[in-house]
Amino acid sequence: MPFTAILRRRPSPPSFFAVSSSRLKWLPPSKFGKLAESLKLDYQLLHVPFKHYKKTIRSNHRSVEKEVSAVISGVSDAVDLDLLGDEAVNQLSSLVSQLQGLKRK
């Protein structure tokens, strides 16, 4: 089974048994409803932060790709312009400062 399929699977429905002091114990229907509700709540409480985490990672990845492509194009522009010593150093130092700013983020 692919990893993404595992992530998409919902948790299995709760069983009628609960582990208590290393032994399986039968749960009466009244307690089973409370257990099922608790498991639903746990799923919701974990699902929302996970979605937020994925969104944040995706956003950060896009910004990193954008900055790195800008630096690479800046280096290629510096090569194409045939800059002299001080001008080339200034151009490259500005690109380095862009990368350092990205590192801080």
Rounded-to-10 torsion of CA 72, 77, 78, 79: 90
Average pLDDT over residues 72-95: 85
Of 5-9, 31-35, 45-49, 61-65, which gets the smallest average pLDDT? 5-9
The better pLDDT of the pair 54, 5 is held by: 54
Average pLDDT over residues 76-81: 83
Domain count, the chain: 1
The better pLDDT of the pair 20, 93 is held by: 93
Residue-number span of the structural domain to which 40 is assigned: 3-104
Q: What is d(CA 53, CA 9) in angstroms, rounded to the nearest whole number? A: 18
The per-residue pLDDT for range 27-53, each reduced to its tens digit, is 566 666 676 777 776 777 777 788 889
pLDDT of residue 55: 94
How many Cα neighbours within 13 Å face the side chain of 9?
9
